[in-house]
């Protein structure tokens, strides 16, 4: 089973940058880079990820020998690993509220909040985790960002971007960032082994059981924000595609894009 070698930094531009340099240097699979702070953190599609102290900023160096068509499903596998870690760390009732949002986020229903705190109007989900996946120098850099401790007041406006964040202590977590990192790495290794040998197919049912979009009407947009498909989410298939049921009843698999609830 894969054993991670943890490299911990106080500060870096991005843990993804550290892993990509390690890939270029030929470092073997299994490096995990953690940082207390990032000055230039980014997530999927290069979007800025504010990274004040208190969050989990983790990047993994992997060298999977798989077909290029299979590689995008590693993002979904990563989501399952973080969800398993959250379920391990949180009280049972809270752990069950953590959902995977295709293709690369973990979210919690906005109604799951501490007593006395009202959700923002129109907000259905709050974001707990974001994931990025980059092929680079013959390997893969997997970036994971988890909202652990709430930031200082001065940093609040920088966090979350267009998403409303949720933090693990709001859900009953009583540990520290290192506990979260250890739980994620423990959960990752067996899932990665399954994925390497059998692909995403054995994990489809687990993903479906914790999917936030199933049964929801969505509009899919590309990186430019242009609509590419619309329908009701039926499932995620063995290739990691989001399958929509169109208005005429046909099934439309979508391999990439961003889902907006309609």
pLDDT at 163: 80
| Rounded Cα gap, residues 119 and 129, in angstroms | 18
pLDDT by residue for the chain (262 residues), tens only, comes to 799 999 999 999 999 999 999 999 999 999 999 999 999 876 666 666 678 899 999 999 999 999 999 999 999 999 999 999 999 999 999 999 999 999 999 999 987 655 444 455 467 999 999 999 999 999 999 999 999 999 876 555 555 456 899 999 999 999 999 999 999 999 999 999 999 999 999 999 999 999 999 999 999 999 999 999 999 999 999 999 999 999 999 999 999 999 999 9
The CATH H-level superfamily of 5-208 is: Bira Bifunctional Protein; Domain 2 (3.30.930.10)
What pLDDT score was predicted for residue 204? 98
Which residues in 112-249 belong to E strands, given as ranges?
Answer: 125-136, 139-146, 217-221, 227-236, 242-245
Helix (H) or strand (E) holding 261: strand 258-261
- For position 115, what pLDDT does the model report? 45
pLDDT of residue 116: 46
CA distance 166 to 129: 9
Closest C-alpha to 31, from 1, 68, 62: 62
Tokens of 103: 């293709």
> How remote is the C-alpha of 229 from its chain's centroid?
23
Domain coordinates in residue numbering, the chain = 5-208, 213-261
**Class of 213-261 in CATH:** mainly beta
Q: Which two tokens stand for residue 109?
A: 């229903």
Both structure tokens of 92 = 């049972």
- Look at residue 112 in the predicted model and tell me its pLDDT: 65
């Amino acid at each position: 089973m894969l054993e991670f070698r943890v490299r911990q930094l106080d500060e870096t531009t991005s843990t993804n940058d550290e892993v990509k340099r390690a890939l270029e240097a030929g470092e073997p699979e299994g490096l995990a880079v953690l940082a207390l702070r990032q000055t230039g953190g980014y997530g999927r599609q290069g979007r800025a990820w504010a990274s004040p102290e208190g969050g989990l900023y983790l990047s993994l160096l992997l060298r999977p020998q798989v077909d290029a068509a299979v590689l995008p499903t590693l993002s979904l596998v990563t989501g399952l690993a973080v969800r398993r870690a959250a379920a391990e760390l949180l009280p049972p009732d809270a752990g069950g509220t953590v959902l995977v949002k295709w293709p690369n986020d973990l979210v919690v229903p906005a109604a799951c909040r501490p007593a006395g705190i009202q959700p923002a109007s129109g907000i259905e989900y709050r974001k707990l985790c974001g994931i990025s996946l980059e092929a680079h120098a013959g390997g893969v850099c997997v970036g994971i960002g988890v909202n652990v401790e709430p930031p200082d007041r001065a940093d609040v406006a920088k966090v979350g971007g267009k998403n409303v964040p949720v933090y693990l202590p709001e859900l009953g977590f009583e540990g520290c960032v290192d506990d979260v990192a250890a739980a994620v790495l423990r959960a990752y290794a067996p899932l990665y082994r399954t994925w390497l040998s059998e692909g995403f197919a054995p994990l489809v049912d687990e993903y479906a059981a914790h999917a936030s979009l199933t049964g929801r009407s969505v509009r899919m947009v590309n990186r430019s924000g242009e609509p590419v498909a619309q329908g009701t989410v039926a499932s995620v298939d063995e290739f990691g595609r989001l399958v929509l049921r169109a208005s005429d009843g046909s099934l439309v698999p979508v391999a990439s894009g961003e889902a907006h609830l309609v």
